[in-house]
Structure 1
Amino acid sequence: MQKAVQGLKPENLWRYFSDLSDIPRESGNEEGVRRFLLAFAKEHNLEALVDTIGNVIIRKQAYKGYENRPWVALQGHMDMVCVKEEGSNHDFTKDPIKLVRDGDFLKADGTTLGGDNGIAIALVMDILSDPSCKHGPIEAIFTVSEETGLTGAFNIEQKHVNSRLMINLDSEDEGVLYIGCAGGIEVRSSMPVTWTKVESASKAFILTANGMLGGHSGAEIHKQRANAIKVAARVLHQGPDFQVCKAEGGTKRNVIPSVCTVTFVINTKDEPLLRSLVEKVQAELAGEYEISDPGLALSLVETDLPLQAVDKQVSRRFFTAVYAAPHGVDAMSMSIPGIVETSTNLAIMRLEEECFKVISSHRSSVLSARDDIAHRFASVFKLSGAQVGFEGAYPSWKPNPHSALTGFCAKAYEEYTGRKPEITAIHAGLECGIINSKIEGM
């Protein structure tokens, strides 16, 4: 057991977490933790299996007198997000996570901790290894590659799962019970480009939109933060004729873009108009986003003139489509006040050799609304001459505040802590929604 967790209670839970921290478990590299879990099951005489995709399922029979209770699944994922500080020599393929105690917080030395979702595995192992714990029949479901595509959940097989009740343990909010989540789908749009020679009476500029806070496109989309790609498009679509030669914005499909740069060419005579427009839009946005994005900034810098750039008509068509495309909250939930039901994140924009590309992420707790907002987004780009495709659809988990399991968990939490839990839903994809759709009757 690592020194940082020595003396923490319950002792077994923290010992198991320490053991997990010694095992590399980046997404796609779960073999070590899989062997660890199977060895644990063997040590405690528990039934265990590995399914086709690599998920581990461990079963424990009911405590004496609780045999007639229904099966309940306790679920978490084996992988972790692996990020290290700049300059760190940590090798996530072989090095253990070094745990550090900082007051009441447990952290890692120079890397991500792996609490997501290692603490869930440790908690379930503590329950499975405790002979005094009174419960009905339970099974632990440990999935693979949640962080990179929910792979284990998508490939879970009904024939291996006895439970029709499940408690997912992948959450970071104390006192909050989530009973629903959003489904999602991606739209990928591509607009073919034609490169033309740049006229000599031209100037080239780099337009940069930055200083925005960005954030998670599910958990933070309700904060109405600015999208850097949309900000850049707001300038370009209403400016003088332009030809784009470079364009880049956004990094990941589930992150609100905070930086966007576009390099383009205009006629020399239009420079005063362009500079005036950038100043005007900057002033407008400073007022609109003074609370959500006080650091929002637009800059315009002259650069070397390229030999060629994308045709004027194609450049304008594309950025007009970007400007017109929906982004942000589309609808709020009617069943759970204050929760986003449907949203869009215009996530990534690139200019490549053959085309402009856009990737957008669409979420909703109502599947028909998820598909509707995705098709509305796609229609904007279709009208502009782009080709569109739909990928990566995953189901929602519709909230049911009246479920017996919700009531049972809420009561148990209140009895244990003396506080009522918050019962809500989350505007993000969870393994719950996928497993629920894969296991009939779950």
Structure 2
Amino acid sequence: MSEEIKSLKPSEIWENFYGLTQVPRPSKHEAKVTEFVRKFGEKLGLKTTVDHAGNVIIRKPATPGMENRKPIVLQAHLDMVPQKNSETIHDFEKDPIDAYIDGEWVRARGTTLGADNGIGAAAIMGVLASKTLKHGPLEGLFTIDEETGMTGAIELSPNALKGEILLNLDSETEGEIYVGCAGGLDGTLKIPVEVERVSRDRAGVAIAITGLKGGHSGMDIILGRANSIKLMERLLVHLQRYDARIVSIEGGSLRNAIPREAFCTLAIPTTKLSRFKTAATELIARIKEEYKAVDPNLSITLKDTVVKGEKCFTAHTHLASMQAVLGIPNGVIRMSDAMPGLVETSSNLASLRVERNRVICQCLLRSSVESAKQALAEEMGGIVELAGGNASFDNGYPGWNPNMNSPILKTMREVYEHEYKKKPAIMAIHAGLECGILGGSYPKMDMISFGPTIMSPHSPDERVKIDTVGKFWDFLCKILENSPKK
């Protein structure tokens, strides 16, 4: 049962995290969790406000003797990525998360856990509620809709915060301190198709791709995991010699999650059905061999189905649309020259669906180099236009440039080395953090991001390592106790 996590230490984080798991909070549906946090702040007797976007700001005065410290903003986002396995019955808008302890990890049964960024939000709640922790003036900033557009950070008023330092608690590897992040851009690609009635001489075959790990499209893109949509398009283009026609096709769901599943129904001439299945089985075996190391649970199945009375793509638009989708750039595009081992530019082909005789794909482009991000968008647009389609790009947000002379970075380095007898890794991240957007509104604010170890965010394999949560809490408390003076 999920209540068992309340027994974990530090209780300041785990009890609050449990509370958050009981409040549905998928992106775009944060009203319940906003109200939950608002009541939390008011119950503590702290000044609590909710802005027009739904962000919550809770202010806590300095503890006696700490009034001379620079005011600090502790920031996390309230929304979570709603991903579940296809066989899991769960309504993210109504149902609580069923979290449980699995050895040294906390996981959820069949769904995302919401440790991203629930652990960060719970830590802020713990700091705000503490009667013993020493700290300067604090503001807890809980933003909404980080995962699908960073709306909360974008709409935050430039006069809302008073702090001079921002600690973003949304990183996912303990022992790493982040000083920069990539910017992002949403792409919507639309390719027109024509349809016709399925002829009587065709039989139906359903293809299902499941079992992929997926993951965070920024953090995990470097791991080379399979993309279910790209695998499906590869199958369809390769098997087009058998005159297969798409009846239905869909894959993926969220722009910032590597798609784990894809489903397609085909209408195939009965005279070619046996050869189609043989060729498909051979290609499936090769694909599974290619990905056996990074996606060992990959499953691609063929199943007979009924297509009588359905409509399918015409021969020309079937091939043109699938070739275009197959050609859309996906994965790591370029590695960083400035920071070896860091991805500079990437793309995630996140979802595909058919709507009103159009194949519609959603992509998330990321880059720490603005011109590279724009070049990638132009490349995608050119590919889609060759197939008679069009591309649009919006919801762009900037990256966050490192400041290696940051006073709070100096403090955190010194505290970490003193307490844990080793140096922390100073990193940039190939993912979108709200620091880039908040830095635009507060250009003088000194910002750092850090957190505990969270694996496989944005997928049902998401888990947080229990001992790193304790270390994260301890580090956060010591940072606040040793924060820079004004």
What's the TM-score, normalizing by structure 2?
A: 0.76
The worse-fitting range, judged by mean Cα deviation, of 381-390 and 287-296 is 287-296
Q: Secondary structure at the match of 1:317?
A: helix
Deviation at 1:385? 0.7
* Residue identity opposite 2:156 in structure 1: I
* Structure of greater Rg: 1
What is aligned with 1:412? 415
* Residue identity opposite 1:54 in structure 2: G
What is aligned with 1:55? 55
Q: Secondary structure at the match of 1:423?
A: strand
Q: Which has the higher contact order (CA 8 A, sep 6+)?
A: 2
What is aligned with 1:250? 252
Deviation at 1:247? 1.2
Q: What does residue range 382-421 of structure 1 map to in structure 2 within 5 Å?
A: 382-421=385-424
Q: What does residue range 40-51 of structure 1 map to in structure 2 within 5 Å?
A: 40=44, 42=45, 47-51=47-51
Q: CA 1:256 to 1:112, structure 2 compared with 1: closer, same or farther past 3 Å?
A: closer
**Kept in 2: contact 1:158–1:440 (CA 8 A):** no
Q: Secondary structure at the match of 1:158?
A: coil
What is aligned with 1:139? 139
* Residue identity opposite 1:138 in structure 2: L
Deviation at 1:166? 0.9
What is aligned with 2:328? 325
**Kept in 1: contact 2:37–2:56 (CA 8 A):** no
Deviation at 1:289? 2.0
What is aligned with 1:183? 183
Consecutive unaligned residues in structure 2, runs of 5 or more: 446-486
Deviation at 1:133? 5.0
Deviation at 1:320? 0.7
What is aligned with 2:39? 35
Q: CA 1:122 to 1:353, structure 2 compared with 1: closer, same or farther past 3 Å?
A: closer
Deviation at 1:229? 1.8
Q: CA 1:7 to 1:276, structure 2 compared with 1: closer, same or farther past 3 Å?
A: closer
- 1:352 and 2:352 correspond: no
What is aligned with 1:337? 340
CA distance in 1, matches of 2:423, 2:264: 50
| Aligned residue-pair number | 436
What's the C-alpha RMSD, in Å, of the aligned pairs? 3.7
Consecutive unaligned residues in structure 1, runs of 5 or more: none
Q: CA 1:164 to 1:369, structure 2 compared with 1: closer, same or farther past 3 Å?
A: farther
The worse-fitting range, judged by mean Cα deviation, of 399-408 and 379-388 is 399-408
Q: What does residue range 251-270 of structure 1 map to in structure 2 within 5 Å?
A: 251-270=253-272
What is aligned with 2:306? 304
**Kept in 1: contact 2:75–2:169 (CA 8 A):** yes
The worse-fitting range, judged by mean Cα deviation, of 158-167 and 20-29 is 20-29
**Kept in 1: contact 2:88–2:111 (CA 8 A):** no
Q: Which of the residues 427, 431, 436 maps onto 1:428?
A: 431
Q: CA 1:404 to 1:227, structure 2 compared with 1: closer, same or farther past 3 Å?
A: same
The worse-fitting range, judged by mean Cα deviation, of 200-209 and 77-86 is 77-86
Deviations along 1:82-104, whole A, 9 cap, x unmatched?
A: 789989999976x9889877777
Deviations along 1:50-93, whole A, 9 cap, x unmatched?
A: 33223233344556666554332221234556789989999976
* Residue identity opposite 2:141 in structure 1: I
Deviation at 1:227? 1.7
Q: CA 1:19 to 1:276, structure 2 compared with 1: closer, same or farther past 3 Å?
A: closer
What is aligned with 2:455? none
Deviations along 1:198-239, whole A, 9 cap, x unmatched?
A: 444444333333443322222211111222222222232243
**Kept in 2: contact 1:187–1:378 (CA 8 A):** no
CA distance in 1, matches of 2:269, 2:216: 39
The worse-fitting range, judged by mean Cα deviation, of 389-398 and 134-143 is 134-143
What is aligned with 1:209? 209
Q: Which of the residues 365, 370, 377 maps onto 1:367?
A: 370
Deviations along 1:276-301, whole A, 9 cap, x unmatched?
A: 53244234323432322234444444
What is aligned with 2:442? 439
CA distance in 1, matches of 2:175, 2:262: 38
Q: CA 1:190 to 1:166, structure 2 compared with 1: closer, same or farther past 3 Å?
A: same
CA distance in 1, matches of 2:307, 2:24: 49
Q: Secondary structure at the match of 2:364?
A: strand
Deviation at 1:116? 4.5
**Kept in 2: contact 1:74–1:138 (CA 8 A):** yes
Deviations along 1:97-121, whole A, 9 cap, x unmatched?
A: 8987777767789997665445434
Q: What does residue range 267-282 of structure 1 map to in structure 2 within 5 Å?
A: 267-271=269-273, 273-282=275-284
CA distance in 2, matches of 1:191, 1:99: 41
Q: CA 1:352 to 1:424, structure 2 compared with 1: closer, same or farther past 3 Å?
A: same
Q: CA 1:221 to 1:237, structure 2 compared with 1: closer, same or farther past 3 Å?
A: same
**Kept in 2: contact 1:168–1:432 (CA 8 A):** yes
**Kept in 2: contact 1:186–1:374 (CA 8 A):** no
What is aligned with 2:235? 235
Q: Secondary structure at the match of 2:215?
A: coil
**Kept in 1: contact 2:380–2:391 (CA 8 A):** no
The worse-fitting range, judged by mean Cα deviation, of 262-271 and 374-383 is 262-271
Q: CA 1:96 to 1:289, structure 2 compared with 1: closer, same or farther past 3 Å?
A: closer
Q: CA 1:256 to 1:97, structure 2 compared with 1: closer, same or farther past 3 Å?
A: closer
The worse-fitting range, judged by mean Cα deviation, of 128-137 and 387-396 is 128-137
* Residue identity opposite 1:328 in structure 2: G
CA distance in 2, matches of 1:408, 1:92: 41
